[in-house]
Structure 1
Amino acid sequence: MIPTEPVLVKDGIANPAPLGLCAFGMTTVLLNIHNACFFEMNTMILAMGIFYGGLAQVIAGIIESKKNNTFGLTAFTSYGFFWLSLVGLLVMPKLGWGSKPSELSMCCYLGIWGLFTFCLFFGTLKLNRALQFVFGSLTILFFLLALGDATGNPDIKKIAGYEGIICGLSAIYTGIAGVLNEVYCRTVMPIGTVEAR
């Protein structure tokens, strides 16, 4: 007998966005607590940058590709490799693999990531308000950090640290909202859904 009702087919792949957002957010908060001068750069930040901010986001991005989500693939894999490259910039000179990057080169590095993030921000305009805040505040963070390197002003880096904590917390909120809203099958933590046009 041929069914008359359409059959819903679920792809069977869990939503990787909460993993990617939490990995990004938690690592960002910890690095920016350092930038706000609460503690020194240490292996805790480097380990988070490699294993959670880095690898977990790359894994989330790969899963997004399986879900045919180009935005998620681009964002999560890019920021995962951002964290891995940042750790490389800090660790490689200490291993004798090249010289420490100059303030100008770090300004360029952070500036190009700011430009990339600004471009992705426009994609969030079709998604939700929470992601708009994450990407908007991340754009500001990259440009503040670049400005701090360009001017050599430690106060700008400190301001960037506080702004980065806010950015990271917003990503954690968005990630946890994705988990809890799915678990409870209702809006437990609002993310400001954008109405389709």
Structure 2
Amino acid sequence: MSKRNIANPSPLGLCGFALTTFLLSAINMQTLGVTTPNIVVAAAFAYGGLVQLLAGMWEMAIGNTFGATSLSSFGGFWISIAIILTPGGFAIESSYDSLEFQHAFSLFLFGWFIFTTLLLLCTLSSSLAHLSIFLSLSPAFLCLALSHLYPHITSASTSTIAATWAPNEQLTFAGGVFGMLSAFAAWYNALAGIVGTGFTFFTLPVGHFPWSEHSRNRKVAARKESPV
């Protein structure tokens, strides 16, 4: 029986993450004057959510624990964001008063900051290109979490609770910048994975750390090929 070849699902998952992150980060930076994130819902459900989740499951099938954990988790993250942002669909935001929602969303994002930092530590044994995704994504989550922790009032009211609160604009912008860097880092890693399959005339450097498994395997292979 011939061995069945399974394609590397990582570039697909990274592309789903990159595009959805790019879109939300552009809105957080108020690019082209767009400030309402409703357009993110479609990408978050379908591409960043479902497709990335499937890619994570396929990573599990090929035995990549890190890929399965990271891609599946961020697929779930984007589906969660889509549920929160769906206008009138799940009534998440309307179930809180304005300030309480900002603080609840802050807790949600702080949780993802902690998780992303854990993944960042794991990439220290991989490559510089892989590290760069989480090195920029972790501060993005931190800035966005803080933007909801320290919101500002957008409409006056006799009651602080009844007032309308919005995320801190400066911190949201900073989160958008870091998110944009993470999106392009993810696209770079995706492209590096695609061109490494031999279907193109070039490859992209990813900067494997000297202590990484890839570098160790290359050293072992070089010693085996060297004359005695």
- Once the two structures are TM-superposed, the CA of residue 185 in structure 1 deviates from its matched residue by 7.5
In structure 2, the residue matched to 1:121 is 120
Q: Which residue of 2 aligns with 1:166?
A: 181
1:43 CA displacement: 4.5
Partner of 1:95: 89
The 3 A distance-change label for structure 1 pair 122 and 42 is closer
1:19 aligns with 2:16: no
4+ residue runs over 2 A deviation? 40-44, 95-98, 183-187, 194-197
- Count of aligned residue pairs for this structure pair: 188
Q: How does 1:1-197 map to 2 (within 5 A)?
A: 12-38=5-31, 39-91=34-86, 94-95=88-89, 97-98=91-92, 99=95, 102-152=101-151, 153-184=168-199, 188-195=203-210, 196=212
Supply the distance in 1 between the matched residues of 2:91 and 2:38 (Cα, whole angstroms). 19
The 10-residue stretch of structure 1 (119-128 or 28-37) with the greater mean CA deviation from structure 2: 119-128
**1:35, CA displacement in angstroms?**
0.3
Q: Percent identity?
A: 33
What letter corresponds to residue 138 of structure 1 in structure 2?
L
In structure 2, how many angstroms separate the alpha carbons of the residues matched to 1:19 and 1:163? 22
- The structure whose Rg is larger is 2
Bigger drift between 132-141 and 97-106 goes to 97-106
Q: CA deviation at 1:157?
A: 0.4
1:41 Cα offset (Å): 2.6
Over the aligned positions, Cα root-mean-square deviation in angstroms equals 1.9
Q: What is residue 4 of structure 1 aligned with on the other side?
A: none
Q: Encode CA deviations 1:68-89: one digit per residue, 9 max, x unaligned.
A: 1111111011000000001111
Task: Kindly provide the amino acid, as one letter, of the partner of residue 79 in structure 1.
Answer: F
The 3-state SS of whatever aligns with 1:25 is helix
SS at match of 2:86: helix
The one-letter code of the counterpart of 1:50 is: F
Alpha-carbon separation, structure 2, partners of 1:42 and 1:34: 6
Counterparts in 2 of 1:80 and 1:96: CA distance versus 1, 3 Å: closer
**Cα 1:42–1:127, aligned 2, differ >3 Å: closer, same or farther?**
same
Unaligned runs of 5+ in 2: 152-167, 217-228
Provide structure 1 residue ranges, at least 5 long, that are not aligned to the other structure: 1-8
Q: Per-residue deviation at 1:109?
A: 0.3
Post-superposition offset of 1:25 = 0.7
State the shift of 1:96 in Å.
5.5
CA separation in 2, counterparts of 1:42 and 1:114?
20
Shift of 1:111: 0.3
Normalised by the length of structure 2, the TM-score is: 0.77
SS in 2 for 1:182: coil
Structure 2: distance between partners of 1:43 and 1:109: 19
TM-score, normalization by structure 1: 0.88
Write the distance in 1 (CA, Å) between the matches of 2:15 and 2:4.
23
